[in-house]
Structure 1
Amino acid sequence: MTTIEPDLPELDIVTPYGVATRLPTSFPLIDPELDVALDHDLFQQGFDDALTRLESMPTPWAHHFATLTMAAEPDLTAHEPSYIRGYRAALYGYLRHGNRQSPR
């Protein structure tokens, strides 16, 4: 029987929607709700702007744009870091999950 070391962080995340258990491979654990450097409004604005831009393109172009943007180092001088994090989060989500749609 394996014992859990007491100095390990809690794996359960309690949200208004339920409890999610993180995998031990996700260390270090960073909860975005506790990220004091993150401006949630700017993050959301970046996320929304990226989705608007992706939706304005044909699927192959959107995929190419998202791939190139994610491969490049983010320009932190162009926008606030929270905005860039939101923008890149939308691109990541599109590449990870959005390509299951039928091409336009």
Structure 2
Amino acid sequence: MTAHRADDADMPELDIVTEHGIVTRLPTSFPLLDPERDADLDPDRFQQGFDDALADLDRMPPRWARHYATSILDKPAPRHDSDRSHTRGYRAGLYGFVHHSPL
């Protein structure tokens, strides 16, 4: 994975490029200048959470999916989560859907 800094004109600071595509981190997530140093992040569980979010959203009509995603993101992530990597990936998928899908 490669994190991009704000001085990179092509990518905003919050975008992370992975072999699976571009992931936009939530601004409230851990400071992540180098994703390889994030010891709490299991990349496989993160990817599974991201994929699960997109699968859940694909099963809904677009307006319902948007409402579902924004409703989840309006609530803070659980503080004591046994699978934080999956949760972070799931929320990243929702965030990407809300910010990159047509209205």
After TM superposition, the score normalised by the length of structure 1 is 0.66
**CA RMSD across the alignment:** 2.6
Q: Does structure 1 residue 22 correspond to structure 2 residue 25?
A: no
Q: Unaligned stretches of 5+ in structure 2?
A: 14-30
Alignment of 1:1-104 (within 5 A): 22-23=5-6, 26=13, 30-77=33-80, 79-99=82-102
Contact 1:46/1:83 (CA < 8 Å) preserved in 2? yes
Measure the CA separation in 1 of the matches of 2:73 and 2:62.
Answer: 16
After TM superposition, the score normalised by the length of structure 2 is 0.67
1:31 Cα offset (Å):
2.0
1:76 Cα offset (Å):
4.6
Query: Counterpart of 1:66 in structure 2: which amino acid?
Result: A
SS in structure 2 at match of 1:99: coil
1:42–1:21 distance in 2 versus 1, CA, 3 Å: closer
Larger Rg: 1
**2:25 aligns to what?**
none
Measure the CA separation in 1 of the matches of 2:57 and 2:97.
Answer: 9
1:23 Cα offset (Å):
1.5
Measure the CA separation in 2 of the matches of 1:96 and 1:65.
Answer: 14
1:86–1:21 distance in 2 versus 1, CA, 3 Å: closer
Contact 2:70/2:98 (CA < 8 Å) preserved in 1? yes
SS in structure 2 at match of 1:96: helix
Query: Counterpart of 1:97 in structure 2: which amino acid?
Result: H
Q: How many residues align?
A: 82
